[in-house]
Amino acid sequence: MLIDTQLQNEYTKETKAPFTDSLTGLLNYGFFNISLDREVKRCARSGESFTLALIDLDGSGYPDGLKGEEISTVVRIMAVVDIYDALVTDRPYRKGLAIEKAFQILRKDGANGKLDKDIVEQLIEQVG
């Protein structure tokens, strides 16, 4: 299962609903804000850096060189969702990409170790 047990338990506790193995539940606005807030506070307590900018699973874009599973599930999900949104959303300087083109880019980044490929595939399954 992609999503770790702790995150599942947090979801059930906060939403009072059973967890389904999909990003749909994780993208629930209230739950995700709670999870993100907890991650920011956890980083502050431990002295770790926290950012959602330029996060790469291989550690090249993350402060402190964290890699793979060292980067929390919440942050790895946010990285995929943020990039997807940036790709498909219209900007003043360009039109958003077609969903299929965005999926190709995300899959390439997953295959190259820049993003969590399991999370990429779950997003594609939910959106596509």
For the chain, which residues make up each domain, given as ranges?
A: 5-127
Residue 54's pLDDT is 52
Residue-level pLDDT at 55: 63
Percent of the chain with pLDDT over 90: 16
Instruction: State the pLDDT at residue 110.
Output: 93
Token pair recorded at residue 55: 């996060």
Instruction: Output the pLDDT for position 71.
Output: 76
Average pLDDT score over the chain: 75
Can you give the pLDDT at residue 1?
A: 39
- Which DSSP string do the residues of 56-73 spell out, in sequence order? -TTSSSSGGG--GGGS-H
Query: What are the angstrom distances between the C-alpha of 47 and each of 38, 39, 118?
Result: 14, 12, 28
Indicate whether 2 pLDDT > 50.
no
In degrees, rounded to 5, the angle at the alpha carbon of residue 57 between the alpha carbons of residues 55 and 61 is 35
C-alpha span between 127 and 96 (Å, rounded): 16
Q: Which residues of 69-97 are buried (b: 16+ CB within 10 A; e: fewer)?
A: eebbbbbbbbbbbebbeebbeeeeeeeeb
Assign domain 5-127 to a CATH class.
mainly alpha
Yes or no: say if 111 and 56 are a contact pair by the CB < 8 Å rule: no
51-83: pLDDT as tens digits:
555 567 776 766 667 777 777 777 788 888 888
> Per-residue confidence at 17, pLDDT binned at 50, 70, 90?
low
Contact 54, 46 (CB under 8 A): no
Which percentage of the chain shows pLDDT scores above 70? Answer: 55
The pLDDT confidence band at residue 5, using thresholds 50, 70 and 90, is: low
pLDDT, position 111: 94
